[in-house]
Amino acid sequence: MLTLTLTLTLAAFATAVLSATLGMAGGLVLMGAFAAILPVPDAMVMHGLTQLVANGGRAITLRSHLDRPALGAYAVGALVAAILARQISLAPPVWLVYLGLGLVPFVALSLPRSRWLDAGTPYGAGAAGLLVVGTQSIFGVAGPLLDTFFQSGRLDRFGVVATKAATQALSHLLKVALFLPLVVGMDRLLTPALACMGAAVVGTQVGTRLLARLPEADFRLWTRRVVLLIGGGYFVAGVIAARAAFAA
């Protein structure tokens, strides 16, 4: 149990730093790490709790930069998606989680620009909540998809990170509510969960300081590069895991 707790805690810290610096990618890495170590329902809940704290802390730290109208519209779409997902409430196999983690960044990049994909409009923010929470209910992560709704350039890097953090905090809260009933023996995950949440808080503070030093142009450039690299790796891992699962 000690080794498991340390491994999960280090992963939570490192990915919180990454997310606080780039506004994304950390959750993508963390979900894959948790899914490799834990059963999928446990991984979903652990990931949701850790990201809830990491994103919530980031949103509170940068609260003066929040786009509150966008957050309100996002919440409406997110609640609709959660209600629909609740009717299914099934844990996907690991290979599907990895394939989803790999495909989401590329699908997000291929989406055309439109007012329906702009979090600066009420329609776009509501659509973001619906699509992001729906995707998270299947694959556990939808950060790259959410990033698509913040490409208009209307917000600076602080506004992007703050508003995305607040929307993701809500999304992960809903994900925990969806998958918690599927977890067997949540008490055994209590210590690792608390350790991961603490590490997420510390990692968020470290990453926020790095964000302040990152030039605006580099922020947008490296966000895309990092997430596509991670997505490609997950897709390959998903194909390998799927072949093994169907061959067994």
Any idea of the CA torsion for 233, 200, 58, 174, to the nearest 10 degrees? 80
Average pLDDT over residues 132-148: 84
- Given a contact cutoff of 8 angstroms between Cβ atoms, the answer to whether 203 and 13 are in contact is yes
Q: Between the CA atoms of 114, 120, 126 and 128, what dihedral angle is there, to the nearest 10 degrees?
A: 70
pLDDT > 70 in the chain, percent:
93
DSSP sequence for 14-27? HHHHHHHHHSSSHH
Q: Output the pLDDT for position 24.
A: 64
Residue 239 has phi, psi (to 5 degrees) of -65, -45
Q: Please tell me the predicted confidence (pLDDT) of residue 62.
A: 87
- Residue 74 near residue 129 (C-beta atoms within 8 A): yes
- Domain range list for the chain: 2-247
> 114-135 burial by CB neighbour count: b if 16+ within 10 A, else e?
eeebbbbbbebbbbbbbbbbbb
pLDDT in tens, 77-105: 999 999 998 887 677 888 888 998 888 88
Would you say residue 143 has pLDDT above 80?
A: no
pLDDT band at 248 (very low <50, low <70, confident <90, very high): low
Q: Judge whether residue 176 has pLDDT over 70.
A: yes
Alpha-carbon span 238 to 225, nearest angstrom: 20
User: pLDDT tens-digit profile of 6-65?
Assistant: 998 998 898 888 877 776 677 788 888 898 888 988 999 988 988 888 788 888 988 899
Average pLDDT over residues 161-174: 90
To the nearest whole number, what is the mean pLDDT of the chain? 84
Range 175-201 average pLDDT? 86
* Predicted TM-score of the model (pTM): 0.81
Q: How far apart are CA 25 and CA 224, in angstroms?
A: 9
Which pLDDT band holds residue 153 (cuts at 50, 70, 90)?
Answer: low
Q: Give the residue from 73, 68, 66 showing the smallest Cα distance to 127.
A: 73
pLDDT at residue 76 greater than cutoff 90: yes
Output 217 or 103, whichever has higher pLDDT. 103
